[in-house]
Amino acid sequence: MHLFYQPEIIAGEATQHLTEDDSRHAIKTLRLRAGDAITVTDGHGNQYAAVIHETDLRQCAFRIKAVQTTPPRPFSVRICVAPTKNLDRIEWFVEKAVEVGIERISFFFGQHSERRVLKLERIEKIAIAAMKQSLQSFLPKLDDAVSFGEMLKTIGDEQRFIAHLPANQPLVNLAKQATEAGQYVVLIGPEGDFSDTEIQQALAAGFQVATLGPNRLRTETAALTACQILNFINQSSMG
């Protein structure tokens, strides 16, 4: 199955067009021709069974034959993470998290963050590619990086956790704290960890300290582990 992404499907239009990147991939790489079947997603839960109508390296035309809508999952995962100094690591996390299943990724700059600039354009492309590769219909929301305090203001009534290994305190794993079928937010700190001030801010905002195991993990490993744990505890609700 060839899955393409077109976020601007026009309702009622007989003929639609792939994006320029997907058009080039379909015609030049996959060597698809008029009459070949493809599947297109808008990233909002809809997958369109379609047929290529006209080949063009910039605007490959297709016609929709049928549409199938996938409902949202009965739980949602949001990971708020500080971008790593080595951008490849955070890109790796985004790719794998999208494949595993995630609804939202938010970036923030903490007091101990080494990276202070983050451009979303490449990260969005990685998320789109991962969505298509894993044959999913939903593209996670990606939030621009803001300060830790500004990020906290965007948190609603979700189950809130901050990943932290407290010294000389009992370790309580995220898997035991999160309840099934919830809306989750997990904060993952930078390489230098959260500052004491940030931990206190999070606690004051209703976050619970949670561990991801006894080992100290890299930022991107911790972020993916949290995502996997929350997906795992909800396996029964996914059928």
Token couple for 226: 């949290």
| CATH superfamily to which 76-238 belongs | SPOUT methyltransferase, trefoil knot domain (3.40.1280.10)
What are the structural domain ranges in the chain?
A: 3-69, 76-238
- Contacts of residue 84, Cβ cutoff 8 Å, sequence gap at least 6: 90, 114, 115, 190, 191, 218, 219, 220
pLDDT at 162: 97
Find the length of the chain: 239
Query: What is the pTM for the complete model shown?
Result: 0.95
In terms of CATH architecture, what is 3-69?
Beta Barrel (2.40)
The dihedral through the CA atoms of 110, 207, 178, 180 has a sign that is negative
pLDDT digits 0-9 by tens, 46-73: 999 999 999 999 999 999 999 999 999 9
Mean pLDDT, the chain, whole residue set:
95
* DSSP annotation string for the chain: --EEE-TT--TT-SEEE--HHHHHIIIIIS---TT-EEEEE-SBSEEEEEEEEE--SS--EEEEEEEEEPPPPSSEEEEEEPPPSSHHHHHHHHHHHHHH--SEEEEEE-TT-S-----HHHHHHHHHHHHHHTT-SBPPEEEEEEEHHHHHTT--SSEEEEE---TTS---BHHHHSPTT-EEEEEE--TT---HHHHHHHHHTTPEEEBSSSS---HHHHHHHHHHHHHHHTGGGG-
Average pLDDT over residues 179-200: 96
pLDDT digits 0-9 by tens, 130-146: 999 999 999 999 999 99
pLDDT digits 0-9 by tens, 6-39: 999 988 888 999 999 999 999 999 999 999 999 9
Token couple for 56: 């063009």
pLDDT at 239: 61
